[in-house]
Amino acid sequence: MKKFIITKTIMAESVQDILKNENLKGAESYTIQEYFEPMMRLTEKQQKGYEWIVEYIEVKKESPALEEIQKQFSLSSINSVCQYLKSLEKQNLINRKPHQNRGIVLINK
């Protein structure tokens, strides 16, 4: 089954499930493109990384360390991790607490 992840990080089996979700009252007035547009701009690698971060936080109840992200995605340096996280911040999917190794906060989570 295909799952959708939207900016509010709500998991759903289908578009209909998303629109029925009580946290999304009024969502029927959105077109599907408007509703999914932020996530549609992610590259496949960004999408996989974001999904991994969401799952990591849900399971471990803390955000991953920069070194863990680097290792998980075989990135060449911590600077590469920071650039990657900046791209997720620009998409309004995460916020980062400055100067904290585990400072990733999911938006609307």
β-strand pairing of 94-96 with 104-106:
antiparallel
Of 29, 1, 25, whose CA–CA distance to 14 is shortest? 1
Domain borders along the chain are: 4-40, 44-106
pLDDT (tens digit per residue) in 24-68: 555 444 444 444 555 557 888 889 999 999 999 999 999 999 999
- Report the distance separating Cα 102 and Cα 109, nearest Å: 16
**Worst-scoring range by mean pLDDT, 18-22, 56-60, 74-78?**
18-22
The model's pTM is 0.62
Fold of 44-106: Arc Repressor Mutant, subunit A (1.10.10)
Extract the tokens encoding 2: 């295909």
